[in-house]
Amino acid sequence: MLTIKNLNKTYANGTQALNNVSITLEKGMFGLLGPNGAGKSTLMKTIATLQLADSGAITFNDIDVFKQPEELRKILGYLPQDFGVYPKVTAEMMLTHIAKVKGITNTKERKEYVLELLNKVNLYKFRNRNLGDFSGGMRQRFGIAQAIIGNPQLIIVDEPTAGLDPMERNRFHNLLSELGENAVVILSTHIVDDVINLCHEMAVFNEGKILVKGKPQELSDTLNQKVYSKSIEKSALADYEAHYNVLTNYLRAGKLNINIFSETPPGEGFLPIANDLEDFYFYSISRPKKAPLTL
């Protein structure tokens, strides 16, 4: 179990990236959903012992993460947002090296383990290709392979699907979902679909704070019968935004569709819709400028 208590971090330039963050996570895949700049990477790096907080505590089972970073690193798998690779090293060579560092000392055992891992992430046939020649999706799958060496109990993946095409994303999702069976997995993302597809629990994170935590479907359902949609002229968007709590706008056949939150039927040509997690996400991060969040 991962427990985070009253975590605070303000960067030297005055940006408060973590504002009294407290959360407890158990085994399974947990989605941390928030917009760019919300502070997700700061939180991930802090948990991964790459930077310190100003105050607060993180424990993983019996490990005090700030006092025993070496202990945490032994059971941690981390796929950072900016995942650099050595371009002239092959996938097999790199994984062999990491496996050695992580303590798999027997040469034969290590070779078998690495080949099995390459198979698992669907990179076996590219095992002798240099990492610099990998596509974005292949790199991400390699990233997962390096993160899961040694069966970590805590796995952190930071914005893993940004830039992947739908097929690569699918493959990557399948791989990630297996991991949640045996470990605490934190998936940090701004992509709502990643959370719907993968996570049994989630939190919306913005401006350094956890706004709300729960099961994706249950959170989404809190807005049932409160989301309405209408097709409008593009030029009218500002007017609608001034009068309604506009959650999302998207083009459909050249016309602009808006989804709004309203406690009561708004009339004016708005129709109720089958709302989803995206509506909930935008509703929760639009607070407190617009309607207060009452759950």
Ligand X SMILES: Nc1ncnc2c1ncn2[C@@H]1O[C@H](COP(=O)(O)OP(=O)(O)OP(=O)(O)O)[C@@H](O)[C@H]1O
Q: List residues near ligand X by CB under 6 A.
A: 11, 13, 15, 17, 34, 36-42, 81, 159
Task: Tell me how far, at minimum, the Cβ of 162 lies from ligand X, in Å.
Answer: 8
**Residue entry with tokens 């706004």:** 211
> Which residue, 36 or 128, has its beta carbon nearer to ligand X?
36
Name the CA dihedral angle for 125, 126, 129, 133, rounded to a multiple of 10 degrees: 150
> Which residue, 12 or 251, has its beta carbon nearer to ligand X?
12
Task: Tell me how far, at minimum, the Cβ of 130 lies from ligand X, in Å.
Answer: 28
**Residue entry with tokens 């006092």:** 67
Which stretches within the chain are classed as H helix?
Answer: 40-47, 69-74, 91-101, 107-120, 136-148, 166-179, 192-198, 216-221, 237-243, 277-286
Whether the bond into 80 is cis, omega within 30 of 0: no
> How far apart are alpha carbons 55 and 61 in whole angstroms?
20
> Which residue, 110 or 139, has its beta carbon nearer to ligand X?
139
Task: Tell me how far, at minimum, the Cβ of 230 lies from ligand X, in Å.
Answer: 31
Tokens matching residue 27: 């085994």
Task: Tell me how far, at minimum, the Cβ of 11 lies from ligand X, in Å.
Answer: 3
> How far apart are alpha carbons 188 and 176 in whole angstroms?
12
> Which residue, 38 or 157, has its beta carbon nearer to ligand X?
38
> How far apart are alpha carbons 213 and 23 in whole angstroms?
9
> How far apart are alpha carbons 26 and 59 in whole angstroms?
12
Task: Tell me how far, at minimum, the Cβ of 38 lies from ligand X, in Å.
Answer: 4
> Which residue, 3 or 81, has its beta carbon nearer to ligand X?
81
> Which residue, 45 or 226, has its beta carbon nearer to ligand X?
45
Name the residue whose CB lies closest to ligand X: 41
Task: Tell me how far, at minimum, the Cβ of 32 lies from ligand X, in Å.
Answer: 9
Task: Tell me how far, at minimum, the Cβ of 195 lies from ligand X, in Å.
Answer: 14
> Which residue, 10 or 122, has its beta carbon nearer to ligand X?
10
Reduce the DSSP state of residue 108 to 3 states and report it. helix
Q: Taking the mean position of all CA atoms in its chain, how far away is CA 144?
A: 14
